[in-house]
Amino acid sequence: MSEQKLLGKRAIVTGGATGIGFGIAERFIAEGARVIITDIDAAGGVSAAAKLGANCQFMHHDVSLAEEWQPVFALAEEAFSGLDILVNVAGVTHMGTIEEMSVETWDKTMAINLRSCFLGCQGAIKLMKNRGGGAIINMASVSAFRPQAELVAYNASKAGVDMMTKSVALHCARSGYDIRVNSINPGVIQTDMLKKVISQVEDGEALMDSYKAMHPIGRIGEPKDIAAMALYLVGEEASFITGASFTVDGALMNN
């Protein structure tokens, strides 16, 4: 068996009950890490933690609320005596054009997708900066660069995640914290979130077919595709990589 790449590492993965978050937690644990997964879906989170085994703990968590982050970091301190890795995955996709979208839906999208990454980075840096550093990944999207009329809030939120990541990385580098901060831009990935998007439109089957056609590689992605990139970015092989944005999209952006 090959050497475990994250042996002894301590991680938090938000949105870990399903999809990309679950896939990343599963890969990290397989590589020797201990992981706290958080999610707003309490039943799903408990079930996911049971599947992931003894090296996983679950905490119910609304990532958009500042007051709900402190207990998560407190658990990392109590259970792990610190933190090496944070992966901000939790997110939401609400369909709507500029004319259709309500202010409430816009604000909810920004809170879940963008504010959560701000809060997570802020808390993780506090834990990591005087304890040997660490690695943070923020989950952006190809939608940070590829506008769609019906994704006005999602486009804006993910573009914000991408640029905020670069700002945070620059701050950490200049401060000498040895905390690397990068973002991943997935293409369309087979997740529960995708199912929710499909359910918001009249002809979900046609939308899914269009998503598949967008990817020249011939398929949409799977959580394991993103987990492989996350593993690389938090590992020693990526020790000189920070403030970067990694697209994992089956050539969607080139299509």
Instruction: Give the DSSP per-residue string, 23-89.
Output: HHHHHHHHTT-EEEEEES-HHHHHHHHHHH-TTEEEEE--TT-GGGHHHHHHHHHHHHSS-SEEEE-
Task: Give dist(CA 217, CA 235) in Å, integer.
Answer: 27
Asked whether residue 77 is assigned to any structural domain, the reply reads yes
Residue 121 near residue 87, CB atoms below 8 Å: no
Note the pLDDT of residue 31: 98
Task: Give dist(CA 56, CA 188) in Å, integer.
Answer: 27
Give the bridge partners for 36, in sequence order.
Answer: 12, 57
pTM: predicted TM-score of the whole model, two decimal places: 0.94
Asked whether residue 68 is assigned to any structural domain, the reply reads yes
Mind listing the pLDDT tens digit for each residue in 44-70? Answer: 999 999 999 999 999 999 999 999 999
Look at the chain and report how many structural domains it folds into: 1
**For residue 127, how far is the Cα from the chain centroid?**
19
List residues with catalytic annotation. 154
Asked whether residue 30 is assigned to any structural domain, the reply reads yes
Q: Is residue 23 scored above 70 in pLDDT?
A: yes
Residue 168 near residue 88, CB atoms below 8 Å: no
Name the strand (E) or helix (H) holding 246: strand 245-248
Task: Give dist(CA 111, CA 91) in Å, integer.
Answer: 9
The CATH number for 174's domain is 3.40.50.720
Mind listing the pLDDT tens digit for each residue in 186-235? Answer: 998 988 777 777 777 777 778 778 778 888 998 889 999 999 999 999 99
Asked whether residue 122 is assigned to any structural domain, the reply reads yes
Asked whether residue 15 is assigned to any structural domain, the reply reads yes
Measured CA to CA in angstroms, residue 37 lies from 4, 23, 120, 195 at distances of 20, 11, 13, 21
Asked whether residue 208 is assigned to any structural domain, the reply reads no
Asked whether residue 3 is assigned to any structural domain, the reply reads no
Asked whether residue 22 is assigned to any structural domain, the reply reads yes
Q: What range defines the domain where residue 44 resides?
A: 10-189+223-247
Note the pLDDT of residue 63: 98
Q: What percent of the chain has pLDDT over 90?
A: 84
